[in-house]
A and B are shown apart, each in its own frame.
Chain A
Amino acid sequence: MLRPRIIPTLLVHQGGLVKTVGFKDPKYVGDPINAVKIFNEKEADELVVLDIDATVNGAEPDYRMIANLAAECRMPLCYGGGINTVTQAERIISLGVEKVALSAAAIERPALLTEIAERIGRQSVVAIIDVRRRTGMFRKGLEVTTRNATRAHSMTPGELSEELERAGAGEIVINSVDRDGTKAGYDLELAAEIRERVKVPLTILGGAGSLDDIAELIGTCGTVGASAGSLFVFKGGLRAVLINYPASEKKDQICAEGFARYRA
């Protein structure tokens, strides 16, 4: 059987690892390579590393950092941040990265995903969609954002997921801006909606505060990628930094619980 993927997402800011809340207030949590080494030991399913500076600064991806991460990483690695050309995507894959993730560049020009998929195969192309729930008087409902949630887009997350899948994404990551860093649980309603609409593998990020939240997500979506930042870098309510990841037996138990709920 295919197992759900439980995936730490690490954010890189000014060369260090950080964790944000609502895409703001980055708190330094350590050195990227050191974190990769710990997740190697814990046999994490996959790893996502996002450089949150590259796109907003209009900078090239930091190839030296990516090469170092890829060389250290014993699990599949997905890199995102600052990719807006086919050449960049190819270069990153050649450094030993399994998947490249695009957000702003793909949303602004979906054909870029097509071009990248033609070169590296769609299985290695990931589209990340940052979603915010608006609750204001005039703007209600789900809104797609890019560039660290500073720009809004008119398409709904559902429409956009379908469009990016058509364009060439082999995986869709839905990242909840409001849940980011809150440990309040995944936005299950949003996850269920996107699962209905796309056929490619789906990964949900934002809000996981406990392993039970992951079981709940599996209960909603079945086989899914459950990604988290805070859950795997902090321990306890005071946000003390402690890189952690469930042991194999624990992981099996979470998945079994999730599937029991999914079938129910």
Chain B
Amino acid sequence: MIRIIDYGLGNIQAFLNVYKRLGIPAERAAEPAALEGARHVILPGVGAFDRAMSLFDASGFRAPVERLIAETEVRVLGICVGMQMLSEGSDEGQLPGLGWVPGRVRQIDSLKKAKGLPMPHMGWNDVEARGGAMLFDGLDDLRFYFLHSYYFECQNEANSLATAEYGDRFSCAVSNGHVYGVQFHPEKSHHWGQALLRNFALI
């Protein structure tokens, strides 16, 4: 059973729809107790970093998820701002991030070659995955839908699972242990996204 955390942000229905089509059980976790025994948890997110962090902190989900990460084999997947929240912090806001993946969120504009390009980065972008990354297993000709102005700058190259090029290359998928994050929107990326969400369920 995939649990999608509902802390007031993000398109939870879209994930439920994809998993329904895949025949994989998934449900909305509207309260922390719903995470009991979870093996797979999705952390969605849209909008501004501070707003997402403060809603998540206020939701009561944070401590139980951290406990699951520390004590169990739970797999966590952050999506879009949900991925950015995994960092130590973002140039977009003041609040600290969750610190589950070492790195910091920067403005795409700060990438030298991305200056002058249309911003936000919006649309379908080719993605290059690192060999052996299970999230991208069995997928080729990778492309996903992006809608963002900030990106995840990994502290260690080893945490980067895939990159996209917009002016410069940046990490668009990260992992640390069983915590994963993707900057793009798999729930809105047709068969590529569907395959990625299936892979996540199988990890």
A: residues with CB less than 8 A from B are 1-5, 40, 43, 45-46, 70-76, 93, 95-96, 98-99, 118-124, 170-171, 199-202, 223, 225
Contacts and interface: CB of A to CB of B under 8 A. Distances in A.
B166 interface: yes
Contacts of A225: 123
Contacts of A3: 123-126, 143
A96 B119 CA distance: 22
Contacts, number: 90
Interface of B: 11-14, 17-18, 46-48, 51, 116, 118-126, 143, 145-149, 165-166, 185, 188, 190-191
Contacts of B126: 1, 3
A171 B122 CA distance: 9
A120 B46 contact: yes
Contacts of B118: 199-202, 223
Given A2-B146, A121-B47, 11 more contacts: A1-B125, A2-B125, A5-B124, A45-B124, A46-B145, A73-B188, A75-B145, A98-B185, A120-B47, A122-B120, A124-B147
Contacts of A73: 188
Chain B interface, >50% SS class: mixed
Contacts of A98: 11, 147, 185, 188
Task: List 10 A-B pairs, minimum CB-CB distance, nearest first.
Answer: A121-B47, A123-B120, A96-B11, A43-B190, A201-B122, A96-B13, A3-B124, A5-B123, A201-B118, A76-B188
A170 B48 CA distance: 13
A122 B92 CA distance: 12
A171 B147 CA distance: 11
B48 A74 contact: no
Contacts of B165: 1
Which of A43, A98, A120 has the most C-beta atoms of chain B within 10 angstroms of its own C-beta? Answer: A98
A122 B121 CA distance: 11
A245 to B, nearest CB: 12
16 contacts: A3-B126, A4-B123, A5-B123, A43-B191, A45-B123, A46-B145, A74-B190, A96-B11, A98-B185, A99-B147, A119-B47, A121-B46, A122-B120, A170-B120, A199-B118, A200-B118
A4 B12 CA distance: 27
Contacts of B17: 71-72, 74
Contacts of B13: 70-71, 95-96
B124 A2 contact: yes
A201 B47 contact: no
A193 to B, nearest CB: 16
A197 B166 CA distance: 21
A58 B46 CA distance: 29
A71 B18 CA distance: 10
B82 to A, nearest CB: 13
Contacts of A95: 13
Contacts of B12: 96
